[in-house]
Amino acid sequence: MIRSIALVIDLQRTLTQAQSLFDNYQQCIADIKRPPRGVSYGDMLFAYATIQGLNPPKIVESGRAHGQSTLILSRCFPQTPIISVECDPDQPDEAIALKRLQDHKNVDCRYGDARNVLPQIVSEMDVVLIDGPKIFRALKLVYKLLKNNHPSVIFLHDCVPGTAFRSYIEEHIPWTFFADDPEFLDQYKHLDKDQPLPQPSLGCIAPRPNFPGFKDLLSIQVTRRLDILRTRKSR
């Protein structure tokens, strides 16, 4: 029997929680510098406010790079085990990430392709944040996890407005809400001011009964295939 969440995970709840958690969030990130890549401060306030109250058994993140998202999650949820999966142990960012995370005892840094690892380690009611793989490859993983692993919520980075990827999510998973929502940005864009980096682009996908169904799984398979062909052609 699959447990379900009693509360409604939506933008309104995230906005309300962000207001009450804001001071604490500022303390959590006070001495954290934003690296040249990775999530924005706005993205992570959005995640913090959404996750608060879900009390997940663990948080599973994929795509570590400099460990910015990992570090902020660890600060915001110091009592929650966090597993961070990175596919490339030899990337230059990895040594930086390990150093930044070395004193954060709730973080377990692992290696492997998230598409193979996450389906093996995500348990019911866990929270998942995917920042590698990217785009349709990541969305295919989201569908797989929602179908088989039953997390309480999945965050997906790089849901950039105006892209085919964002349009696909809005059409096929219309209850997804985003960190670039005007109301959220209006209140918190100052967190990333002075940053030459992309603004918040995290999407939050909550589970729904019977999603993904057969048609959804077929659609994402076909879309992913077409995306591979398009990418090959454009090279």
Instruction: Quote the least distance from Cβ 53 to ligand SAM, whole Å.
Output: 23
Separation of alpha carbons 131 and 158, rounded Å: 8
| Cα 3 off chain centre by | 22
Task: Tell me how many residues contact ligand SAM (CB under 6 A).
Answer: 24
Q: Rule CB under 6 A: say whether 52 interacts with ligand SAM.
A: no
Q: Considering only 16-24, 85-93, 178-186, 217-225, which stretch makes contact with ligand SAM by CB under 6 A?
A: 85-93
Q: Rule CB under 6 A: say whether 66 interacts with ligand SAM.
A: yes
Q: Rule CB under 6 A: say whether 205 interacts with ligand SAM.
A: no
| Cα 110 off chain centre by | 17
Binding mask 93-112 for ligand SAM (x = CB under 6 A): x-------------------
Among 98, 106, 108, 113, binds ligand SAM (CB under 6 A): 113
Q: Rule CB under 6 A: say whether 131 interacts with ligand SAM.
A: yes
Q: Considering only 36-44, 48-56, 177-185, 186-194, which stretch makes contact with ligand SAM by CB under 6 A?
A: 36-44
Among 18, 45, 56, 86, binds ligand SAM (CB under 6 A): 86
Interface residues with ligand SAM (CB under 6 A) are 35, 37-39, 62-69, 85-88, 91, 93, 113-115, 131-133
